[in-house]
């Protein structure tokens, strides 16, 4: 007679093929314990109460028929979802454990205590359904978990509550929507050693960028205490992004983004008044500091890479850090179910026209833009009062909000990060969401018309009014190949990953000044001379921005390095040409603390800008910070694909001084493959191109300044606008001259102006000249690529036609000789 199926299976006895026996979550834990622990991935030990034990529990209490009848009544419309779920859960909670089954669970719990060296171990008790954590269905948050459970009685109660949570309202609704038969889904329970994260930290981690699908990064969210607050969206977590291709080189630290979240509260263990956990306020130091240091961030990222490699697909993981030992653990892993299933061959782009005043800023989820009317919701059960297509605005969401979210066109929340419930479910439903706005429920009002934009990078915005929206589809399978490289102009690190799918040949112009102006905001010399600043207002603002940096210069270096690194990561290993700062004096003066360090000039466009600043005593120490950031990007982070470019370099002698200054700051041309380009935007760059080519590896034509200085026309003058023309013969001859001279000297030459995007005939002219590359805005990439491909085909045909008369003549001569 065959033996009865087991009630208990230890994690080290199961793997990912055992979903039917122990559910998706427990099967994954078992897989990691058996296969990944030997690779250094730490997973807390534990055991599973099997799905068969759940079925025997229902059978012993004669619950199957009651559940089936309740579901039938719900589907017939005779009973509401809420009443159906409540009745089934009460029936399961009222069930009694068969004595042999209860004895086996208690015995396993005692054995877990023996293995861990604890008489009465604290455990996490987690639901693990047989239809969850599948590659095409996440079932995120559908069933319950219970933390800090201790003792036989508490454990059996928690297991029974997990069984009942298979029939929460949200779980019933979700299975109906996904077409899963309720009676065919069973539930296993995972009993896992509790990590003392209440005094440590915890969070969520993805091995893919959750918004863009960029597959070369690990995204980590972190909070103090237990991780439930992240998923529930009750806190704004820290966010870290790590570049995967370089993370396994332990000499490098490729952390391309670090953001401090608000982290206003933390969930800790309670063990009082019947509570197992409770939320308490965080300290000022906890709110202002990072949960994880760089070593821990990199360790988690390496684990994410190992887990993804083992499973062969992008993964969604949960981690915890023990507050007593400082050790990190992976406590869950499941397949990522949104970006990994997205159509990789189609890129949808959005452009907003005539947008109104910006009301709110938060984290963007998704990449769409929608318009609609606001509906602020406090109670998720008020379904009938929520109109289809409204913009759902709430403090945060949990699984009870899913029916409302199905009616919404977009979601906006006060709290939460990219791994909060609102973000996860919005992503899965294809809804744009802006989360963590702080005061959306205060600043918006019912029936207000708004535009919700998630198409402008990793920040999402809510604008007043209904904007005009253009939507374009790019079929990535129909982009032609070209000899001429077509690269991207990029300034905003937040938007860099948005365009990673474009088959660009790199980035031809990354504007450093955008990062300084929009992210750093402070004049570098004000950081160097902070103690002697006379502007008290600027000094106070700098102190606020640089909180946590003992050396205020490092604030500039770290933020600039991470911004550049994020842009470099988006195109790695293709070249990314970063132009050193090219503010004019009036623009530098507008940075915080800048007025003390900038001269007043009548004509800043032709004044103290570009190369002349870098070796000047006025800015030498500021340039040293720029060089330190570039050195960190290339040497410490490992982005050797970054090329340095010098703007507005007037003479070869000035080039020598700049290159000498760079070398003194650790950026020596040629060392570790460092290439240095020069902007070609002054007539002297053209006239003396052969001399500049001896000093630089390439030229990048800045057509705006070159046109301005060739024609003597102020590019910003409305009165002279009709005279400003990059296609004028004086300009095109100049461009042809520098291309020929650069190639004769063995240097590369590209163009980074807007003209190829605006004028197809200009792009064709550049192809005729044999230019090596064009760098254009991402939204014009496809049109320029098609123009270049057509121009190259025409050029080949023209060459072939020129050859054909000679070929014909030779054939006739050969025939006569015969």
- List the catalytic residues: 421, 752
Preceding peptide of 573 cis, ω within 30°: yes
Question: Would you say 669 and 659 are in contact if contact means Cβ atoms under 8 Å apart?
Answer: yes
- Cα distance between residue 440 and residue 433, in whole Å: 12
- Tell me the two tokens of residue 548: 């946590």
Closest C-alpha to 204, from 299, 332, 30: 332
Quote the distance between the C-alpha of residue 649 and its chain's center.
Answer: 36
**Which tokens sit at 370?**
């929608």
Residues in the chain: 818
DSSP per residue, 629-672: HHHIIIIIS--TTEEEEE-S---HHHHHHHHHHHHHTT--TTGG
Neighbouring-strand partners of residue 677:
645, 698
Please state, as a whole number, how many other Cβ atoms lie within 10 Å of the Cβ of residue 87: 17
User: What token pair was written down for 567?
Assistant: 């842009």
What own/partner pairs with CB < 8 Å and gap ≥ 24 does 196-199 have?
A: 196/322, 196/323, 196/324, 196/325, 197/225, 197/226, 197/227, 197/320, 197/321, 197/322, 197/323, 198/148, 198/225, 198/226, 198/266, 198/267, 198/268, 198/269, 198/277, 198/323, 199/225, 199/268, 199/323, 199/324
Neighbour-count burial for 535-569, b at 16+ CB within 10 Å, e otherwise: eeebbebbeebbeeeeebbbbbbbbbbbbbbbbbb
DSSP-H helix ranges across 712-780: 729-744, 755-758, 760-769
Main-chain phi, psi angles of 206, to 5 degrees: -120, 145
User: Which residues, including other chains, have CB under 8 Å from residue 583's CB and lie 6 or more apart?
Assistant: 513, 516, 517, 591, 609
Q: Where are the alpha helices (DSSP H) in 234-351?
A: 244-247, 284-288, 294-311
For 236: left if phi > 0, alpha if psi spans -120 to 50, otherwise beta; the answer is beta
Task: Report CA torsion sign: 245, 246, 250, 254.
Answer: negative
Residues 494, 496, 500, 502: what is their CA dihedral angle, to the nearest 10 degrees? 130
Task: Report CA 147 to chain centroid distance, whole Å.
Answer: 30
Q: Do residues 244 and 301 touch, judged by C-beta distance below 8 A?
A: yes
The continuous run of DSSP H or E covering 161 comes out as helix 152-164
Residue 289 CA to residue 238 CA, distance in Å, equals: 9
**Nearest Cα to 605, choosing from 691, 717, 735?**
717
Angle between helices 729-744 and 760-769 (to 10 degrees): 30
Q: How far apart are CA 410 and CA 408, in angstroms?
A: 5
Contact (Cβ atoms closer than 8 angstroms) between residue 402 and residue 174: yes
């Amino acid at each position: 007679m065959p033996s009865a199926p087991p009630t208990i299976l230890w994690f080290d006895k199961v793997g990912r093929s055992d979903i039917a026996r122990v559910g998706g979550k427990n099967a994954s834990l078992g897989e990691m314990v058996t296969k990944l622990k030997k690779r250094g991935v730490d997973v807390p030990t534990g055991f599973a109460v099997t799905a068969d034990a759940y079925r025997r529990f229902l059978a012993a209490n004669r619950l199957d028929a009651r559940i089936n009848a309740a579901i039938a009544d719900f589907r017939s419309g005779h009973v509401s979802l809420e009443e159906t779920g409540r009745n089934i859960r009460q029936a399961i909670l009222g069930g009694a454990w068969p004595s042999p089954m209860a004895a086996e669970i208690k015995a396993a719990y005692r054995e877990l205590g023996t293995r861990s060296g604890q008489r009465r171990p604290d455990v996490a008790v987690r639901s693990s359904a047989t239809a969850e954590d599948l590659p095409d269905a996440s079932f995120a948050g559908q069933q319950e978990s219970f933390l800090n459970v201790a003792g036989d009685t508490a454990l059996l109660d928690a297991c029974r509550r997990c069984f009942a949570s298979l029939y929460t309202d949200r779980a019933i609704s979700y299975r109906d929507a996904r077409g899963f038969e309720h009676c065919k889904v069973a539930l296993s329970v995972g009993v896992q050693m509790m990590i003392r994260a209440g005094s440590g930290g915890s969070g969520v981690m993805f091995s893919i960028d959750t918004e863009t699908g960029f597959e070369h990064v690990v995204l980590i969210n972190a909070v103090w205490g237990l991780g439930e607050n992240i998923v529930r969206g009750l806190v704004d977590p820290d966010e870290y992004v790590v570049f995967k291709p370089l993370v396994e080189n332990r000499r490098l630290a490729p952390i391309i983004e670090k953001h401090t979240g608000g982290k206003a509260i933390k969930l800790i263990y309670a063990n009082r008044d019947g509570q197992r956990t409770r939320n308490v306020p965080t300290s000022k130091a906890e709110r202002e500091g990072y949960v994880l240091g760089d070593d821990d961030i990199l360790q988690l990222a390496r684990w994410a890479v190992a887990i993804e490699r083992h499973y062969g697909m992008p993964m969604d993981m949960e981690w915890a850090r023990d507050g007593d030992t400082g050790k990190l653990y992976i406590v869950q892993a499941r397949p990522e179910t949104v970006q990994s299933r997205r159509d990789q061959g189609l890129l949808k782009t959005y452009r907003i026209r005539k947008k109104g005043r910006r009301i709110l800023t938060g984290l963007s989820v998704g990449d769409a833009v929608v318009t609609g009317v606001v509906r602020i919701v406090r109670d998720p059960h008020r379904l009938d009062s929520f109109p289809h297509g409204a913009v759902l605005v709430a403090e945060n969401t949990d699984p009870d909000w899913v029916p409302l979210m199905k009616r919404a066109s977009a979601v906006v929340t006060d709290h939460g990060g990219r791994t909060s419930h609102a973000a996860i479910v919005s992503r899965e439903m294809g809804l744009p969401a802006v989360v963590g706005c702080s005061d959306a429920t205060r600043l918006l009002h019912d029936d207000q018309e708004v535009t919700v934009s998630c198409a402008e990078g990793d920040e999402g915005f809510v604008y007043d009014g209904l904007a005009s929206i253009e939507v374009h589809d790019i079929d990535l399978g129909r982009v032609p190949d070209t000899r001429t490289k077509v690269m991207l102009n990029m300034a905003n690190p937040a938007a860099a990953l948005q365009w990673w799918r474009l088959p660009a040949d790199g980035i031809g112009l990354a504007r450093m000044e955008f990062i300084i102006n929009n992210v750093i905001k402070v004049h570098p010399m004000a950081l160097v001379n902070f103690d002697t600043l006379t502007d008290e207002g600027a000094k106070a603002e700098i102190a606020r921005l640089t909180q946590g940096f003992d050396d205020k210069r490092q604030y500039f270096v770290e933020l600039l390095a991470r911004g550049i690194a994020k842009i470099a990561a988006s195109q790695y290993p293709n070249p990314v040409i970063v132009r050193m700062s090219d503010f004019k004096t009036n623009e530098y003066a507008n940075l915080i603390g800048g007025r003390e360090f900038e001269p007043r000039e009548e004509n800043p466009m032709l004044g103290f800008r570009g190369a002349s600043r870098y070796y000047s005593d006025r800015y030498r120490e500021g340039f040293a910070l720029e060089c330190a950031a570039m050195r960190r990007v290339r040497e410490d982070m490992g982005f050797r694909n970054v090329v340095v470019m010098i703007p507005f370099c007037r003479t070869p002698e000035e080039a020598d001084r700049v290159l000498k200054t760079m070398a003194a700051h650790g950026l020596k041309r040629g060392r570790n493959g460092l290439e240095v380009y020069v902007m070609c935007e002054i007539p002297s760059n053209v006239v003396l191109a052969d001399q500049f080519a001896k000093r630089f590896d390439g030229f990048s034509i800045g057509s705006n300044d070159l046109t301005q200085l060739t024609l003597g026309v102020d590019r910003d003058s409305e009165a002279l606008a009709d005279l400003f023309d990059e296609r004028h013969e004086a300009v095109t001859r100049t461009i042809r001259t520098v291309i020929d001279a650069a190639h004769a000297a063995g240097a590369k030459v590209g163009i980074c102006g807007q003209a190829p995007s605006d004028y197809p005939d200009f792009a064709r002219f550049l192809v005729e000249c044999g230019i090596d590359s064009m760098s254009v805005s991402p939204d014009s990439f496809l049109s320029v690529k098609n123009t270049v491909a057509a121009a190259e085909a025409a050029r080949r045909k023209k060459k072939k036609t020129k050859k054909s008369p000679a070929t014909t003549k030779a054939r006739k001569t050969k025939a006569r000789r015969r």
